[in-house]
Structure 1
Amino acid sequence: MSIPEIKQKLSIQEVLENYQIPEKNQMCRCPFHEDQTPSMQIFNDSNTVRCYSGNCPQSNKVIDVIDFIMYYEKLTKAQAIAKASQWIGLATKSSYKEYQELPMDRLEEIFYKM
């Protein structure tokens, strides 16, 4: 399972719904900081979100489905990729193990080339 395939098959809406983060008018409360009013914008066309609060550690970062899972659950990139794969029913134990065993610098290289 490649990263582009994961990003194509798993929508940001599905990720938000999985974490029970309600949205209204393409905005939601950011789960990465205390948020009283919605500061995170949802971009369905690019399958990403972005928080515009200056109080957010992820402020102004374009966050895709894998990054969202990684930040929300405080996982490594490899673990987030494996979890996203499982959500769309494409992961096997061997593919999870494959990502777990990759050195982090190699995984990041693969990720950023995608």
Structure 2
Amino acid sequence: MQADLVLLIAALKIDLQRFVEMARARGMEPLVEVHTSSEMDRALKTDARIIGINNRNLSTLEVDLGTFERLAPRAKEAGVFLVAESGVHSREDACRMMEAGADALLVGTELMGRPQRLGEINRL
């Protein structure tokens, strides 16, 4: 059994294109995660097909859904599959991210902290 997807965090200052190629050579699709405009620049210079925009600032751990809204248009113009990561706590948040261009949502903390919410996923 093997993973299908690997997370590449642009903030790590790795050679993203090289890691994208290495992931694909091993049968995995890379998801390149960004949080800033400069990280988006780096991600868009690769041939990554999936970009995740993390609404959580990894330095301060503060969450701002506006991060996705600010960065998404450039990624959508490039035609990548776009994932909104972090900060989705309600149907309204999910709709907001989808309206801003999200093709998918990464929802973890909300569900881990409140497992009873799992039943609500189908209503999103």
Question: By the TM > 0.5 criterion, same fold?
Answer: no
The TM-score normalised by the length of structure 2 is 0.25
Greater RCO (Cα-Cα under 8 Å, separation 6 or more) = 1
The TM-score normalised by the length of structure 1 is 0.26
